[in-house]
Amino acid sequence: METQPIIVIKNLYKSFGKNKILKGINLTVKKGENLVILGRSGSGKSVTIKCLVGLVRADKGTINIFGTAITSLNDKELNAIRVRIGFMFQNGALYDSMSIRQNLAFTLKHHTPNLSESAIESQIFEALESVGLKEAIAKMPSELSGGMKKRIALARAIIITPEILLYDEPTSGLDTITAREISELILSIQKKYKTTSIIITHDMACAKMTGDRILILKDGLINAEGTYAALEKSKDEWVRSFFI
């Protein structure tokens, strides 16, 4: 039996002033799938996933997550959905004044305020173990390399054991070897936590390694869709330009 989609976006529009970013996006993501979204800068990739968690409110269209239309929810109802979604921000978005332990604890307490201190500590260690950085627990963000910051940002995203993970440029600014390690982590987390993911990236090596399916945005619309292998052989020159 076909797996039911866990995310369904229909006819999504978003403008900022006169700048029309999304012009009628339609997409679905099946449970357990890694969907990669490609596109030039300004094509609407990041805006799409920010609309998914209500960080940006769409102008028109529907977003259905876990069978619920989130575009009609109030803040309290939206928060009940958000606790099931992890978001890895492009810049890591770690709190510079907090240690790694404090950064992760802050996220946990925000989402599950009734957890005991021992449960918090246990989940912090599990998240750090999942990204291979238990030794960084007492460090400050300023003491970490770019790759380590990405791993901690990923640990923070998974610490709430989300059903959906949203990655915004997870390998940007990293050298080739570290970028590959992050891509491998994305796959190991998909396997360990059975997550459904959307991965926004410019990194074709990351797209090839992590994507079960790839969408390419152009001018606020989905221009192409398929596997990496199929899109690489596309007769459309614009689509092929991503794979050169």
Q: Is the pLDDT of residue 223 over 60?
A: yes
- Tell me the whole-structure pTM to 2 decimals: 0.90
Give 218's pLDDT tier (boundaries 50, 70, 90): very high
Question: Quick one: how far is CA 53 from the chain centroid?
Answer: 10
Cβ burial of 135 (10 Å; 0-12, 13-18, 19+) is exposed
* Cα distance between residue 63 and residue 70, in whole Å: 6
Q: Tell me the per-residue pLDDT of 20-51, one tens digit each, with 9 for 90 and over.
A: 999 999 999 999 999 999 988 888 898 998 89
User: What sign results for the dihedral spanned by CA atoms 169, 173, 176, 179?
Assistant: negative
Residues whose CB is less than 8 angstroms from the CB of residue 171 and which lie 6 or more positions away in sequence, other chains included: 150, 178, 179, 182, 183, 201, 203, 205, 206
